Amino acid sequence: MPADSMPAEIRPTKAAARAAAMPWHELVLLAFVAAELLFFDVTGRRFLTGDNLANILRHSTELGLLALAMMPVILTGGIDLSIGSLLGLSTVLFGKMVDEGGLSPLCAGVITFLAGAAAGGLNALLIGALRLPPLIVTLGTYSLFRGLAEALTKGTEIYSRFPPYFLAFGNSRIGPLPAQGWILAAAAILFWILVHKTVLGRCWRAIGYSPEGAAHAGIAVKTRVATAYIIAGAVSALAAIVYTARVAQGRADAGAGYELAAITAVVLGGSSIFGGSGSVPGTVLGVAAIALLSNGLGRIPAAMGVSRELAGMMTGALLLAALSASALARMASERRARRT
Amino acid sequence: MNQWSREIWVASVLAALLALLAVFAPAFYAPMPLLSRCSEQAPALIMTVGMALLIIARQIDVSVGSQFAVCAVIAGTLTAAKAPLVIAVATAIAAGGAMGALNGLLVAGLGLPSIVVTLATMATWEQALRLFQQGRFVALPEGTQWWGLGQTMGQWTLIAAACLITAAFAVAMKHTSGGRRVYAVGSDAESALLAGIDPRKTVFRLFILMGLLAGLAAALNIVRSPQVDPKAGLGLELKVIAAVVVGGVAVSGGRGSVWGASVGLLLLATINPALTYLHVDAYWEKATQGVVILAALIADSLKRRTHAGR
């Protein structure tokens, strides 16, 4: 139906049409990432080198996977605070199976992946079937998963006996990219297809835009939402295996605070925190912005000792700035709409 | 249905747990550890009150743990610099209020969801504190501990202060127009607006109040030991939110009470030592907390469903 023949209430506004035609948010973010590259290249030591860029990719794969996992959940208008804790629980589970159980990493990896999906299924069950708010459910499982990890390790135990070929995977290169970079690239493409090219992705978007409307349109809201949380759980487990291969340790405090970084990446990437809009390329750019920030600060001589704290602080501030900017833009456009 | 049924239910679980302890682990009731355990919970109780109000108004604040830590270090640093205790306490409370005001500004002023805003401020304050303090403890001067009152007297003062504040807010929520406004905004912000209540102003004030209470809790907490631990607030937000949810405050807003939330805190605070006394590993503490939160949520949802079915 051409836009002109639609009733006025549902005809897209000019601004909305322009936003749909040109992903300006991604462009702004791309400019921001480019500015970061330039800034750190000028101020930092050995920043723009092939080795360091591979290093950045290696260290941001887990965050990238978690952000990709978080994106569909936020698209449905939900949130998952438990994925950082689930990463910790999964590394412990994986480490225990390989170190103490003597399982092969492949076998343990498959079990961990399924356990992650099951953990996501717990969130899905409580949120989908019992219609409890995602925020408080995943706050509960945030505590539960981290607590189970602490209980399994008795708070102190660290699993570190892994086969050499498994650890080599975490620290080697295949072609131009670090080994885990290929996993991240494959995951990003899969998520892009899932979110932008499938019925499931369109359902997520519709649910996030208006749950009642989606239900009236015949979408099985509960199962579609449940799928997003189950995928998030499974991908967090995958991130845990990648993490274990890189740091050669399975420990209970792994991934603490990653949920915030993942949410920040998704929101920086232009997804609405209220659901209904967002893109996978934007999320990937959001991850890049955060990863460059934390690596780049470590390369500036003046900030070297405190770069982690500084990066954490600036990630929080960046999230607030991105949220405020989008809120102010929304308020301004509403004011304009009211005036006309 | 009795409006207090949920509070009574939580209180009876607590009573059952206490009875269990009386039979199987009478050592739990030895006066010395019991008193210090209670005084340990006093700052959390003060923050639980603020959190209950926020959640009743359908908001949440996960930055309270970071606020608590920042305020504790501020109060400690001032005391260590020989500032009078009154000024240290006042500064800590003011700092808490300022951090709360920032949350309030972003949530009420810009219409952003409180969970994301406070997650961001939580990380920002926590990392800022780490940046400036680098994990160093602040040593307090002699005579600061227990305000120089001696341990037993100091502990009682702390407990009394927390209980007084809780009682004052519990009564105010029930019997003042301000308290009713919080419920009105939480159950339906649109109707509240039509009834002449400005929800944004109410929410803004509640975030400030939460910050003030976090500052007060931090200032009261520092007298408990001869030094200030900058990591003391870690995970406190979760404990406080868990207490509020377990105590029967609905996360969908508009329902619950300060009484219930404080009983919820007592229940959570009893479970952990109870596990130790009943010979369960202490490492299960966090997992148990998660299970209790989820159990309370599921119980509420099932109850809601049976009522809707009738």
- Residue B307, pLDDT above cutoff 90: no
Confidence class of residue B300 from pLDDT cuts 50, 70 and 90?
confident
Report the C-alpha gap between B124 and B117 in whole angstroms.
11
Is B153 in the A-facing interface, judged by CB distances under 8 Å? no
Q: What pLDDT does residue B161 have?
A: 92
Q: What pLDDT does residue A17 have?
A: 43
Using CA atoms, how far residue B6 sits from A133, B187, B250, in Å, is: 19, 18, 11
Q: Which of B110, B132, B298, B305 to mutate to test the interface with A (most CBs of A within 10 A)?
A: B110
Give me the total of CB pairs closer than 8 Å, taking one residue from chain A and one from chain B: 133
Using CA atoms, how far residue B78 sits from B94, B95, B275, in Å, is: 13, 13, 38
Cβ pair B127:A309 closer than 8 A:
yes
Confidence class of residue B61 from pLDDT cuts 50, 70 and 90?
very high
Q: Which of B99, B127, B129, B231 to mutate to test the interface with A (most CBs of A within 10 A)?
A: B127
pLDDT in tens, B130-166: 988 888 888 888 777 777 777 788 888 899 999 999 9
In chain B, residues 264-303 whose CB comes closer than 8 Å to chain A: 281, 283-291, 293-294, 297-298, 301-302
Q: What percent of chain B has pLDDT over 70?
A: 97
Half-sphere exposure of A264 (CA within 13 A, CB side): 30
Q: Which of A97, A153, A142, A135 is nearest to A119 (CA)?
A: A142
Q: Which of A85, A92, A293, A313 to mutate to test the interface with B (most CBs of B within 10 A)?
A: A313
Is B60 in the A-facing interface, judged by CB distances under 8 Å? yes
Is A260 in the B-facing interface, judged by CB distances under 8 Å? yes
Q: Which of B115, B129, B231, B244 to mutate to test the interface with A (most CBs of A within 10 A)?
A: B115
Alpha-carbon distance B226 to nearest alpha carbon in chain A (angstroms): 27
Residues of A whose CB is below 8 A from B303? none
Cβ pair B120:A150 closer than 8 A:
no
Contact B88, B219 (CB under 8 A): yes
Sign of CA dihedral B17, B18, B24, B27: positive
Helices B85-104 and B64-80 meet at what angle, rounded to 10?
150
Largest Cα separation within chain A, whole Å, is: 70
> What stretches of chain A show up as alpha helix (H) in DSSP?
14-21, 24-43, 50-75, 83-95, 105-124, 134-153, 164-171, 179-197, 199-209, 211-216, 221-247, 258-268, 280-299, 307-339
Contact B222, B79 (CB under 8 A): yes
In chain A, residues 68-107 whose CB comes closer than 8 Å to chain B: 79
Cβ pair A313:B124 closer than 8 A:
yes
> Kind and range of the H or E element at A279?
none
Is A155 in the B-facing interface, judged by CB distances under 8 Å? yes
pLDDT in tens, A158-175: 998 999 999 988 888 888
Q: What are phi and psi of A255, to 5 degrees?
A: 80, 10
Q: What pLDDT does residue A58 have?
A: 92
Q: What pLDDT does residue B308 have?
A: 57
Q: What's the token pair of residue B290?
A: 């998660």
Q: What's the gap between Cα B90 and its chain centre?
A: 19
Confidence class of residue B254 from pLDDT cuts 50, 70 and 90?
confident
Give DSSP secondary structure letters for A46-59: S-SSHHHHHHHHHH
Q: What pLDDT does residue B3 have?
A: 63
Cβ pair B283:A155 closer than 8 A:
yes
Report the C-alpha gap between A333 and B7 in whole angstroms.
46
Count other C-beta atoms under 10 Å from residue A27's C-beta: 11
Is B234 in the A-facing interface, judged by CB distances under 8 Å? no
- Residue B4, pLDDT above cutoff 80: no
Is A60 in the B-facing interface, judged by CB distances under 8 Å? no
Give DSSP secondary structure letters for B45-110: HHHHHHHHHHHHTT---TTHHHHHHHHHHHHHHHHHTT--HHHHHHHHHHHHHHHHHHHHIIIIIH
Q: What pLDDT does residue B281 have?
A: 77
The residue of chain A with its CA nearest to that of B115 is A135
Is B136 in the A-facing interface, judged by CB distances under 8 Å? no
Q: What's the token pair of residue A192?
A: 């892009």
Using CA atoms, how far residue B279 sits from A151, B21, B273, in Å, is: 14, 12, 10
Q: What are phi and psi of A177, to 5 degrees?
A: -105, 155
Q: What is the 3-state secondary structure (H, E, C) of B277-298?
A: HCCCCHHHHHHHHHHHHHHHHH
Is A273 in the B-facing interface, judged by CB distances under 8 Å? yes
The ipTM value here is: 0.82
Q: What's the gap between Cα A199 and its chain centre?
A: 21
Kindly state the DSSP code that residue A159 receives in the 8-state scheme: B
- Asked which of A223-232, B35-44, B65-74 is least confident by mean pLDDT, the reply is B35-44
Q: What's the token pair of residue B173?
A: 């929520």
Contact B71, B214 (CB under 8 A): yes
Contact B94, A312 (CB under 8 A): no
Give the global pTM: 0.86
Q: Which of A85, A309, A330, A333 to mutate to test the interface with B (most CBs of B within 10 A)?
A: A309
Question: Tens-of-pLDDT digits for all 340 residues of chain A?
Answer: 344 444 444 444 444 544 443 457 788 889 889 999 999 988 888 888 888 999 999 999 999 999 999 999 999 999 999 999 999 999 999 999 999 998 999 999 999 999 999 999 999 999 988 888 898 899 899 999 999 999 999 878 899 899 999 998 888 888 888 989 999 999 999 999 999 999 999 999 999 999 999 999 999 999 999 999 999 999 999 999 999 999 999 999 998 889 888 998 998 888 888 889 999 999 999 999 999 998 888 888 877 778 888 888 888 898 898 888 878 888 888 888 887 7
Residues of A whose CB is below 8 A from B119? 260, 263, 319
Cα torsion A237, A240, A242, A243 to 10°: value is 170
Cβ pair B60:A135 closer than 8 A:
yes
Cβ pair B131:A310 closer than 8 A:
yes
Contact B288, B272 (CB under 8 A): yes
pLDDT in tens, A297-337: 888 887 777 888 888 888 889 889 888 887 888 888 888 88
> What stretches of B114-246 show up as alpha helix (H) in DSSP?
114-133, 151-175, 177-187, 189-194, 199-221, 236-246
Report the C-alpha gap between A153 and A137 in whole angstroms.
24
Residues of B whose CB is below 8 A from A153? 283
Q: What's the token pair of residue B252?
A: 């969908």
Q: What percent of chain B has pLDDT over 90?
A: 45
Q: What's the token pair of residue B172?
A: 């105010």
Give the three-state DSSP class for A270: coil
Q: What's the token pair of residue A85?
A: 């804790």
Residues of A whose CB is below 8 A from B272? none
Residues of A whose CB is below 8 A from B294? 126, 137, 140-141, 144
- Asked which of A231-245, B1-15, B177-191, B193-207 is least confident by mean pLDDT, the reply is B1-15
Alpha-carbon distance B290 to nearest alpha carbon in chain A (angstroms): 4
Q: What's the token pair of residue B22?
A: 């009386």
- Asked which of B196-200, B242-246, B278-282 is least confident by mean pLDDT, the reply is B278-282
Give DSSP secondary structure letters for A217-251: TT--HHHHHHHHHHHHHHHHHHHHHHHHHHHS-B-
Q: What pLDDT does residue B179 have?
A: 92
Cβ pair B131:A313 closer than 8 A:
yes
> Kind and range of the H or E element at A178?
strand A177-178
Alpha-carbon distance A235 to nearest alpha carbon in chain B (angstroms): 22
Report the C-alpha gap between A187 and A294 in whole angstroms.
23
Q: What pLDDT does residue B310 have?
A: 42
